[in-house]
Amino acid sequence: MQTSTKRTLKYIGKNDLFKEVMEKLSTNHEMTNKEKSFILSCGIAFFNEYKKDKRHLTYADISYYIFLKYSLQYKDYRPLFDFAVNFGFYPIVKTILKNDLLDSFSVENSLIDNKINKYRHGSGYIETFHQFEERNLFIDDASDQKSYIAPTSFGKSSVIAEYIENIPEYASKKIAIIVPTKSLLMQTYKSIRDSQINSNIIIHDDMHKDDMSFIAIFTQERALRLSNKEVLFDVLIIDEAHKIFEKGRGILLSRLLRKNYILNNDQKVIYLSPLVEDSNNLIINTGQQITSHEIHFNLKEPEFFEYQEKTKKVYQYNRFVDDFYNKDEEYENIFSYIKEKSQNKNFIFENNPHDIEKMSYKICNSGYFNLHQEDLELRKLKNILSDMEGTPIVHTPLDTHILTN
């Protein structure tokens, strides 16, 4: 968030009416008609400020937040629809029209529905305007080094495949896709295998038999081992490129890039990430230039909640006005909170394998969850991971299986 934008939002956030209505909107409390009109007008005003100067991305974000929250709370999808049409959030437009969520049908809506089919990627999903534009610019860009920065779930796997397919005579090239961990290796392998790419695919340096061409899906360790055998790569695709800043991976990637450049100074290097704000931060050599292709806007709008063990209360955080709202909810402990709030897919994050195992024991022994039943899906996953060259599996009473890299 730009400093000037942050300062403006902080100032607006002190306005009593805005503060009160923003809290009601965030926490899904009922608003009066006057308050509804006020907050929608705020959404329009923020969007107009973004259109005046498109460097102020946060104004577009908060505008989207207001229309999204309002439309979901009151099942009135017209504000969200109008925003999505004007901003190019075409997947939302398509969903609203497909599910007949507007009060009335119009010829204009039918024309809009037909128009956005232009943004369908192949025979699959509808892209946003920014996604469509940047993906095509990225594919057509002939730079030796370039980046594609996009939020999670914005089709980076399909972009990798499309990029490879557009490399002239790709079947005669040595191409390496570098992933940070073994767990991502198989996911990427399946994506490339299921694409239209017709090339030899290897996933371990031991699989290389003096091949003249291949697509290698490697961790940085495997790629460096092959590079040390004087095998050069024509193209290096660095997935999860933000992890180049990590101490261990960064050193290995730097060695790989430098070693491969010595072997092949015509190498092409592609960086993909959902988290890098400035592609210049990826530069590791003097004189290195990276052409950047960035998608700044995300269809997903997260909501943040904090459970405080001391007070046993829950608070909701609004990132735009930097404020916490008391949810008037109390829970006996963190495990009762997790049980109450858990849905079909849940992710509990801990920072290292030891803490993961420790938390697993705590959850298992809390008495809030029935976790001792055999789970065939977890058993299948464990077997897949075990087949990945003897990858160690840490066993816990939860039958939680943790990759150690």
- pLDDT band, very low/low/confident/very high, at 386 (cuts 50, 70, 90): low
pLDDT tens sequence across 324-341: 999 999 999 999 999 899
Confidence at residue 95, expressed as pLDDT on a 0 to 100 scale = 94
Average pLDDT for 8-14: 82
For residue 151, which phi and psi values (nearest 5 degrees)?
A: -60, 160
Confidence at residue 387, expressed as pLDDT on a 0 to 100 scale = 60
Query: What's this model's pTM, rounded to 2 decimal places?
Result: 0.82
Mean pLDDT over the full length of the chain:
85
Residue 161 placed within a domain: yes
Residue 123 has pLDDT above 80, yes or no: no
For residue 61, which phi and psi values (nearest 5 degrees)?
A: -65, -45
Residue 208 has pLDDT above 50, yes or no: yes
For residue 322, which phi and psi values (nearest 5 degrees)?
A: 55, 55
Same domain membership, residue 192 and residue 147? yes
CATH number at residue 187: 3.40.50.300
Residue 390 has pLDDT above 90, yes or no: no
- Using DSSP's 3-state secondary structure scheme, residue 226 falls into helix
Same domain membership, residue 110 and residue 189? no
Confidence at residue 72, expressed as pLDDT on a 0 to 100 scale = 96
Residue 288 has pLDDT above 90, yes or no: no
Q: Of 87, 119, 151, which one is at a domain's C-terminal end?
A: 119
Tell me the percentage of the chain whose pLDDT exceeds 90: 50
Residue 130 has pLDDT above 70, yes or no: yes
Residue 81 has pLDDT above 90, yes or no: yes
pLDDT tens sequence across 39-62: 999 999 999 999 999 889 999 999
Question: Of 79, 84, 103, 83, whose CA–CA distance to 25 is shortest?
Answer: 79
Residue 366 has pLDDT above 70, yes or no: yes
- pLDDT band, very low/low/confident/very high, at 312 (cuts 50, 70, 90): very high
Confidence at residue 336, expressed as pLDDT on a 0 to 100 scale = 92
Residue 337 lies in domain: 331-386
Confidence at residue 235, expressed as pLDDT on a 0 to 100 scale = 95
Average pLDDT for 300-306: 92
Q: Which amino acid is at 35?
A: E
- Using DSSP's 3-state secondary structure scheme, residue 232 falls into coil
Confidence at residue 400, expressed as pLDDT on a 0 to 100 scale = 35
Average pLDDT for 207-225: 91
Question: Of 232, 121, 203, whose CA–CA distance to 391 is shortest?
Answer: 203
Contact between 248 and 187 (Cβ < 8 Å): no
Residue 36 placed within a domain: yes
Token pair of 221 as six digits: 């360790």
Confidence at residue 8, expressed as pLDDT on a 0 to 100 scale = 83
Residue 194 placed within a domain: yes
Residue 222 placed within a domain: yes
Residue 183 placed within a domain: yes
Residue 316 placed within a domain: no
What CA–CA distance (Å, rounded) separates 123 from 182? 31
Same domain membership, residue 216 and residue 80? no
Same domain membership, residue 231 and residue 145? yes
